[in-house]
Chain A
Amino acid sequence: MPGVLSIGTYLPYYRLSPATLGWPHRTSRLLASYDQDSLTLALEASRRCLVGFDRAKVDAVLFVSSSPPFIEKLSSSILAAGLRLKSDVLALDVTGSLGGFGRALSLGLGLIESNRAAYVLIATGDKRRTKPLSQLEATNSDAGAAVLLGPTGEIASVLGEGFFSSPILDAWQLAGEPYLRDTEERFVQEQGYTSALPRALDNLLKKTGLTNEAFSYACIATPEPRRLPLAIKTLKLKADSLLDEGLSRSFGFFGSSMPLFLLHEALLRASPGDLLLLAGYGDGAFAIALKAADGLLGSRPKPFPRVFKDVPSYTDALKWQGAMEYSPQARRPPIDPPSPIAMYRESEQNLALVGVRCKACGYPQYPPQRLCTRCRGMDFEKEPFADKRAQLFTYALDTLGPTPEPPLIVCFIDFEGGGRMQCLMSDADPKALKVGMPLEMSFRRLFSAGGIPNYFWKCTPLREG
């Protein structure tokens, strides 16, 4: 039976908490860095999801987000390039709804069941545009999560899906507007998820013949997790089935990625044979029944390291999100836009960090060279660098460089197995840097100029929990 092969998650490094200077809320939440967006978060999660899997086998990639970087332009096409998926991959964005994940999962399973695809990657990411000082700002975290579906659900099979569609205006962002809007909270609670979720569940139970009491774990993604106990009652689920995952208590709501985070948590605990309910809210609701499989015992999904750093101040958070105009550190010329022509020509080396290895002397080099830097050989094979670890060779802290988070960390890094690159470093404490420290690569939005977002790789200190 088709289902889940693996799950990967990604949490941003930065946190807003009551300890953050000027943070106007009592909550804690995670904040994507200024150089991350829903696409980069989804790509980071996808890399983790695809570890050990032959990427050439992925037939379709669905990018799910309620905050895609583009209105016109497939983020999934950039995702596919960044992940080195095959060129005839079916790439599609499922955007515009918090409930996109359940719908995308159904589409993905449909492709597999109809033999149009064997393996489908669903990559979710959200960095929702919440208005400063709003309640949405207080409770929405940025994150990414991805799932790989295949003809055999090695860690969990999918038994069926149920949907409910609703035209309700509860949270939305109008094209051309900078921020999310929302409706009166009690209306949303009563006519929104407490009404939509049971209907989707009913539809699922009708299709599968399962009962409300059958589920050992209930993973329910709603924008208001504090009302979940109430929802459980409405759904007539087993009293103790609600997943006590702690994530939402710590960080609020992860947008389109929330269902996968909850499923991930459930799969850390479940035993083979356990039934799991995965439900989510957004423009109605979806409900999915899964059954934990034997493969789970051998390959439990890995939890993402819980290593975070508080954003220095709320002002910094506003700067990072582009919510505030500010004077730069130094009088420097504005950043010129990149050339879309050169970007296209170099898309493999820039988006997937693919370099070359000299066939004559074996030395790996990035970016690709026409003549080998060591032996001047001209015969190369491709060499992907994105998943290599590296060491910090040297660095400088540019206090005047163009960044909303000074100082700009410029470094030379040496890759394990050979190769050197000059790049920027993100997610680091400048005071904790040491020559020789271990690093990994991270996909980022380097800058955006002239309306062109420039995606590229930076290094970050190795994040280990």
Chain B
Amino acid sequence: MKVLKGFLRFILVVVAIVLIFAIVIICTYVLGSPNTDTGTESRNIVSGPWTEVVGDDPKAELYSFDFNQSGEFKIAKGDKQIADGWFKIDEKSRKIKLLMLPSHYTEEFAPYVNYKVLSEVSFSNLKFQIKEAEFGKDPEIIKDKEPTVSFLIREAGDKEGSGETLVMNCKMYEYTLDLYSSEHDLTRNA
């Protein structure tokens, strides 16, 4: 009887731990999800398809990042999607926090995910082509030149300097700036 009681207690403790872990994951994902109604200004900046630029090898499996106005992202390597979910931008630290459900990333991407829910992408060198300012005017973004950015994804545990860091230099080839948000399409309004 005593053994049975001990066994049941052990089972209950395990179930409680699993339950707490599941609740933490669900709360992190649900409460951390971005507002999907309207895009924020920083979302406007990163929104669109960013494609890695590496040499001329046509067979190279390039990374591509797609962030949209509703706060959703997709990461692909070559034709294969390796992660998708929601994102939030921390402009001060230039970091993009990625929120994913465990089934929404592949094993290949798993090393870059902390706590099986969160990952972070740092972005640096976000550059828009700027037209030289005329006298007395502010410089202007050249509307149809692609911006460039470097994305860095750190392997979980990299705080100790042990993990790998992926660095991807990307361009947004489909970029044209227009006042109708991120849908760069002349048929957007008619």
Query: Are chains A and B native binding partners rather than an unrelated pairing?
Result: no
Residues of B near any A CB (own CB < 8 A): none
